[in-house]
Amino acid sequence: MANVRLVDVKKAFGAVEVLKGVDLEIADGEFIVFVGPSGCGKSTLLRTIAGLEEATTGQVSIGDRVVNDLSPSDRGIAMVFQSYALYPHMTAYENMAFGLKLAKTEKGEIDRRVRAAAEALSITDYLDRKPKAMSGGQRQRVAIGRAIVREPEVFLFDEPLSNLDAALRVRMRYEFARLHAELKTTMIYVTHDQVEAMTLADRIVVLNGGRIEQVGAPMDLYDHPANLFVAGFIGSPK
């Protein structure tokens, strides 16, 4: 587990400034959700925390380390994307074990971690299946399992459910809540789905045009939106 601190983080692509100065303290073990309209910079902010994008200026800290100069693999994070390409020729087990094998983790330890993750995600019965023999929800669980086995200090999720159908999205929402209750790891979760944000978040961060409009617990934002933008965004289901 670790806290995450962003100090005046800016990110420009060429002349276009996408993050315009983000300050945020995320507590150890918090489930924080970024919401905001398409193109407001949610993914860019997540990728900047992950180290997949370099902040133009400002500071990113994870735990007690400033990580600006660290590569993604040295930041103690694991990220799950919306398009979670699994290796088609590998079983669920092999997909989850692969990264640990590359990292030369000992075989017994790999087995312990894969089985524990599979247990947490209720996919123990599918460990021998290849992706094409699994449903979309099962594949997404394997992708999450791949992140869990790395035992990161911080999980980063970028719209992990948006490719799933509505019924499955609802079910997976509960899975995320349960997973967080069990692992107690810091989770940073991007979604454009207000209901997902309201149900999962300890605190919601509302982004707009590369800036934070408001940060607060779901019901705080709902009851006391700082402005019309937040009121419109949190109040109205799409």
Cβ at position 21, least distance to ligand ADP in Å: 15
What does the per-residue mask of binding to ligand ADP show for 44-73, with x meaning CB under 6 A? x-----------------------------
User: Does 43 interact with ligand ADP (rule: CB under 6 A)?
Assistant: yes
Sign of CA dihedral 10, 59, 204, 159: positive
Strands 16-26 and 4-13: antiparallel
Residue from the set 24, 30, 32, 42 that interacts with ligand ADP by CB under 6 A: 42
Nearer to Mg ion, 43 or 48 (CB): 43
User: Does 186 interact with Mg ion (rule: CB under 5 A)?
Assistant: no
Q: What are the E-state strand segments in the chain?
A: 4-13, 16-26, 31-35, 57-62, 65-66, 77-80, 154-158, 186-190, 203-208, 211-216
Residue 120 near which of Mg ion, ligand ADP, none (CB within 5-8 Å, type-dependent) = none
User: Does 13 interact with ligand ADP (rule: CB under 6 A)?
Assistant: yes
Q: Which of residues 40-79 bind Mg ion (CB under 5 A)?
A: 43
Cβ at position 101, least distance to ligand ADP in Å: 31
Residue 38 near which of Mg ion, ligand ADP, none (CB within 5-8 Å, type-dependent) = ligand ADP
Q: How many residues bind ligand ADP (CB under 6 A)?
A: 10
Q: Which of residues 104-143 bind ligand ADP (CB under 6 A)?
A: none
**230 membership: H or E segment, kind and range:** helix 228-235
Task: Say what angle helices 166-183 and 136-148 make with each other, to 10 degrees.
Answer: 20
Q: CB–CB of 5/58 below 8 Å?
A: no
Q: How far apart are CA 38 and CA 143, in angstroms?
A: 24
Nearer to ligand ADP, 13 or 87 (CB): 13
Which of 81, 23, 29 is closest to 57 using CA atoms? 23
At residue 216's C-alpha, the angle toward residues 169 and 171, to 5°, is 10
Residue 131 is given by DSSP the state G
Residue 39 near which of ligand ADP, Mg ion, none (CB within 5-8 Å, type-dependent) = ligand ADP
User: Does 205 interact with ligand ADP (rule: CB under 6 A)?
Assistant: no
Cα dihedral 192, 194, 195, 201, rounded to 10, equals 90
Residue 140 near which of ligand ADP, Mg ion, none (CB within 5-8 Å, type-dependent) = none
Interface ranges with ligand ADP (CB under 6 A)? 13, 18, 36, 38-44
